Amino acid sequence: MLSSTDTSRDVVTQVAQKKAALLSTVRTAHERLAAATATGRPSDIQGAQHRLQVAVDAARDADAAWGEIGDALGVARGNAYQRHRHRAARDPE
């Protein structure tokens, strides 16, 4: 039988793993934006910017700090906040 401490530890571990995965997604989205920017096609760039913002929003929803997001993007936390503080528009369902 698991104790409440073991259960709490499992939850904390799961939350940390989810946040790490989301920050990895932010990093990947940022790399894809850089690649899209290199193509110079506005539609590619806009799509990549939107996907990056959605990834940042998801990381923030998982309680990632701006400093962690900044680290994933290779910028200071203040720069990450300035660029990404406004949430992405939701796609109509």
Q: Would the pLDDT of 86 be above 80?
A: yes
DSSP string for residues in 27-59? HHHHHHHHHHHHHT-HHHHHHHHHHHHHHHHHH
Q: Which domain holds residue 72?
A: 16-84
Question: Is 9 a member of any domain?
Answer: no
Q: Is residue 3 part of a domain?
A: no
Q: Is the pLDDT of residue 1 over 50?
A: yes
Contact (CB, 8 A) for 58 and 22? yes
Residue 28 forms part of a structural domain: yes
Considering the domain boundaries, does residue 49 fall inside one? yes
- The yes-or-no verdict on residue 11 having pLDDT over 70 is yes
Express each pLDDT in 38-48 by its tens digit.
998 999 999 99
pLDDT of 53 > 90? The answer is yes
How many domains does the chain contain in total? 1
Does residue 16 have a pLDDT over 70? yes
Q: How confident is the model at residue 6 (pLDDT cuts 50, 70, 90)?
A: confident
Residue 8 lies in a domain: no
**Residue pair 69/60 in contact by the 8 Å Cβ criterion:** yes
